[in-house]
Amino acid sequence: MPEDTPRRRLDADARREEIVRVTLDLAAKQGVDDVTTQDMAQAMGVTQGAVFRHFPSKDAIWLAVMHWVRDRLMAVLGRAAEQGRDPLDALARMFAAHIDFIAAHPAIPRVLTSEHLHIRNRALRELVTEIMLGYEARVAGLLEAAKADGLARADLDAHAAATLYIGMIQGLVLQASLLRGHRTLKAEAARTFPVFLQAVRPPNP
């Protein structure tokens, strides 16, 4: 058989995975809310109707994308955190891993925060809420552990600090996307995280 012939037919599982992949790619290129099923099909080299053999609706595609994001993100964050020597080191590694993950998949924060997707699709909004609350709880847990170890100020409001942490990432993403080119996500992130740490660290060295 000829080896260079591109395989068109994929089994349903592989095709579903590819749809999720190209959807994220297209979202990064042209914006989350401007990805059409026609775009997806074209990016895969099939016709538009074929997309609906594998998903019953476009909402279902976004839900699958969100599951993919949750699974990957949580795995990346977990792996980074468990290499930390202490809770604050774990937090720093988690932050760096998250920034790297976003740099590799720029559409992810947009998918998580796109109100257009949340509004009618309740399942999607609940999944986002689960991701956010889980993330916040993880950060707050690390901060509580840091308090117990004397690495964080005793009077720190861990919940509020976790909110600040998540907002920091959002702010960095927005800046990087508006000032594309002028400021890089990684450089700004490296400057901003130490400021956040100052809010956490105890007053007496």
Partner DNA sequence: CACCTAAGGTAGTAATCAGTCACTATCTAA
Partner DNA sequence: TTAGATAGTGACTGATTACTACCTTAGGTG
Sites of contact with a copy of itself (CB under 8 A):
30-34, 110, 113-116, 118-119, 125, 128-129, 132, 153, 156-157, 159-161, 163-164, 166-172, 174-175, 177-179, 188, 191-192, 194-200, 203-205
Question: C-beta of 37: minimal distance to DNA in Å?
Answer: 4
Q: Which stretch binds DNA (CB under 7 A): 2-10, 21-29, 150-158, 164-172?
A: 2-10
Contact of residue 81 among a copy of itself, DNA, none (CB under 5-8 Å per partner type): none
97 and 80 in contact (C-beta within 8 Å)?
yes
State whether residue 183 is helix, strand or coil. strand
Contact of residue 37 among a copy of itself, DNA, none (CB under 5-8 Å per partner type): DNA
Q: Concatenated DSSP letters for 137-182?
A: HHHHHHHHHHHHTTSS-TT--HHHHHHHHHHHHHHHHHHHHHTBTT
Q: Which residues pair with 180 in a beta bridge?
A: 183
170 and 183 in contact (C-beta within 8 Å)?
no
Q: Which stretch binds DNA (CB under 7 A): 48-56, 79-87, 113-121, 153-161?
A: 48-56
